[in-house]
Every structure is written in structure tokens, then in C-alpha cells.
Amino acid sequence: MPRPLLATIHLDAMQHNLERARAGARGAKVWAVVKANAYGHGLERAMRGFAGADGLALVEVDYAVRLRELGWTKPILLLEGFFDASDLPVMAQYGLNGSVHCEEQIALLAVARLPHAIDVHLKMNTGMNRLGFTPDAVAGAYARLRAMPHIGTITLMTHFANADEAAPTRLPLEQQMLRFEAGAASIGVPLPRSLCNSAGVLLHHLDSDWVRPGIMLYGGTPSGAPGGTSAQAFGLLPTMTLRSSIIGIQDIAAGEVVGYGSRYEAAGNIKVGVVACGYADGYPRHAPEGTPVLVDGVRTGLIGRVSMDMLMVDLTHVPGAKVGSAVTLWGQGMPIDEVALAAGTIGYELMCALAPRVPVVEATQ
């Protein structure tokens, strides 16, 4: 028998969440973001789950080529653009759109000899200070790109730093939009726009030609912050469920300890369940005592330190729990945002950290 740990991907939930994104996009086209192997879901599954998207967006050139080989014929956007001159012929051959965000990329484009024109997204840095041209420099960047015969459509893009925060202390979305509008006006001609990430789609109403939802497509919320709106309240469904089983039970007395470092001490007589899942499977090692877990559909919590292959839960108040009892680590019945919040991280990280050794299957309809 295989080890009882399994990740199940729900394609119907992916389709549902895409429609939720489209409903919030105010008529904009939708780039479904599938970077990091589609947030751990797999490119081939994402291609089917997001078949209704207007395009797919990611950062890995080789994965973009793989999408073409798998049969994706609609647009593909490289969110970080190209990394080397050798990427440019590949982009032309496979019809890949690319972000242009720095002078070095423009210099490489200027000397490129490409068989086909490529479409680009000109990225503006409106305050996040990660990638992009400042509003003062974007017009010059546009002029140089527009003069190149092998550049097709140019779309203006920016990325929001705090769209998921109701009242950020620094760099509110409104300030970024003012900078964006100033930069756009300096170009002198109207350009298509790509603005909103998941938070922008869910929480703001901006006119745009394209949106770029990511985490919402996978049933998570952008920040998972306390007091924030839950994925369920947004009408989103979990797309990945991580399940395991109880593989051992210990009855221990008050004062006994559990796990590496003996950091958990029982206050009374308790029943400890051992679950076949650990940090080598992608479960966060730093998850603290009380991180929620479902056992036979009953909510309980983590105790002790997460091990490489196992973690322990309190079964004292789970009637009938036994070896073989079903455990849900996150997904259907256990929102991934709750687990991530308890562990001091975000749902993105949990999905992306799913280890290669964990078997992945698709849910049957």
C-alpha cells in the first residue's frame, strides 16, 4: 500500500474560480496566472482548468514552451519578460508575449533579428520598486520600443503592492494609480492596460483591458490577514485538498511531552494521533501548536513540532478516532488560508511548496 498522503486537484473549482474572476474583471480579458507549476497544481491541469481564460501568464520560458507543446493556442505572457538574448527567438517562434521592464531588455531587443513580431507589456514601476520603468522614464521606453519593427502590440502594465490592504500605511493603491495615469499620459497615445492582480479584481473596481488573477483562481485570498474577507465569502472554491490518515496513536499522561525538542507538554491525559505528513511533503515545519487540522471531519489542532515525515494532532476530543482515520490538512473542509494564517504564512506558499513525492490526482466529478 502507498503512504496515505494524497493531494487532490479540483478542476471544476478552478473553472468556477475563473468565472468569479471574470465576473469581477468589469469586461477585461483575463490572464490566468500559472507560474510555479500553476501554484503546485500542474501545468497540464491548469491548462484544462483555465481553458476559458483569454491567456495564461507565468515567468518560466521553458514552461511557456511546454504549454504550447501541450496544445495551448491562446496568448501566453511572460510576466518577467526574457532573461537572455537567446530567449527572444523562442518568444518569436512560440508566439510568447513578454514584459519589458528595464533598459537592458530594450538594448537586447534593439539588436535582435526576429522572424516574427512579438507583443510586449511595458511595465511601469508605480512605487512597488521591484520591476519597471518609473513614470518619468516610461515614455522614453515606449518610444524606443515603438520604433522597432519587430515589436507588435504594446500594453502598459503595473503591479499593486497593497491592493489587498483596506488602509495601508504606505503606498495606497490610489497613489499608485495616480502615478500610473501620469506615466500613461506622458506617452501621448492611448495603450491597452493590464492592471489588477487577485486583490485588485476582488476589492477594487478599475477599468482595464487585462487582469492578472493568481491566488483567487486557486481558492485562496491575497493576504489571508485577520479580519479579511474569506475565500468562501468571495465565492471561491478550494482547488487543492491535501489529505492523509492517522498512522499511529499514543495515550499519554499529564506532564509527558511530544515530538522533537519536547516543546509540547500535556496538561492532562490526552490521546495523540500521528499523521503521515511532514515538512518533506511541503507542510510548514514552523506551524505552531493549534494549527487547525480535520480528523474524521472534526476540527482539532497540531501539537508538538512538525517532523520530516509526520506531524501530531490532539485526538482527545475526536470521538472514534483510530488508525486509518481520515485527515484533511487543507482544502475542502479546511480553508488553506486558515492553515497558512496559523503558520504565519500565506496560502500561496503552502500550495507552491507541495513536494514532488506527494502523489497528485484529479477529483472525479
- Report the 10 Å Cβ neighbour count for 256: 15
Least confident of 160-164, 263-267, 353-357: 160-164
Q: Name which of 8, 41, 22, 21 is nearest 216 in CA terms.
A: 21
Q: What is the pLDDT of residue 224?
A: 57
- Report the 10 Å Cβ neighbour count for 70: 11
Please, which residues bridge with residue 258 across strands?
A: 264
Q: What is the pLDDT of residue 352?
A: 96
Residue with cell 515606449: 142
Average pLDDT of span 164-187 = 88
Reported confidence tier of residue 110, pLDDT bands at 50, 70, 90: very high
Residue with cell 501530531: 312
CA distance 214 to 194: 14
Main-chain dihedrals φ then ψ at residue 234, nearest 5 degrees: -80, -5
CA distance 197 to 214: 7
Q: Which residues are catalytic?
A: 35, 260
Average pLDDT of span 241-268 = 96
Reported confidence tier of residue 142, pLDDT bands at 50, 70, 90: very high
DSSP SS3 for 319 = coil
pLDDT at 226 over 60: no
265 Cβ contact partners less than 8 Å away, ≥ 6 residues apart: 255, 256, 257
137 Cβ contact partners less than 8 Å away, ≥ 6 residues apart: none
Answer for the pair 293, 334: CB distance below 8 angstroms, yes or no: yes
- Mean per-residue pLDDT of the chain: 95
**pLDDT digits 0-9 by tens, 32-83:** 999 999 999 999 999 999 999 999 999 999 999 999 999 999 999 999 999 9
Distance of alpha carbon 362 from the chain centroid: 19
Query: Buried b / exposed e across 92-128, counting CB within 10 Å, b at 16+?
Result: bebbbbbbbbbeebbebbeebebeeebbbbbbbbbbe
CA distance 136 to 290: 50
CA distance 319 to 315: 8
Note the pTM of the prediction, 2 decimals: 0.94
Instruction: Provide the Cα torsion 354, 356, 361, 363; round to 10°.
Output: 10
Average pLDDT of span 95-115 = 97
CA distance 72 to 164: 31
The three cell numbers locating residue 218: 486557486
Percent of the chain with pLDDT over 70: 97
Percent of the chain with pLDDT over 90: 89
The three cell numbers locating residue 330: 487543507
**Half-sphere exposure of residue 208, counting CA atoms within 13 Å on the CB side?**
28
pLDDT at 119 over 80: yes
**pLDDT digits 0-9 by tens, 198-223:** 988 988 888 899 999 999 999 998 86
308 is in an annotated binding site: yes
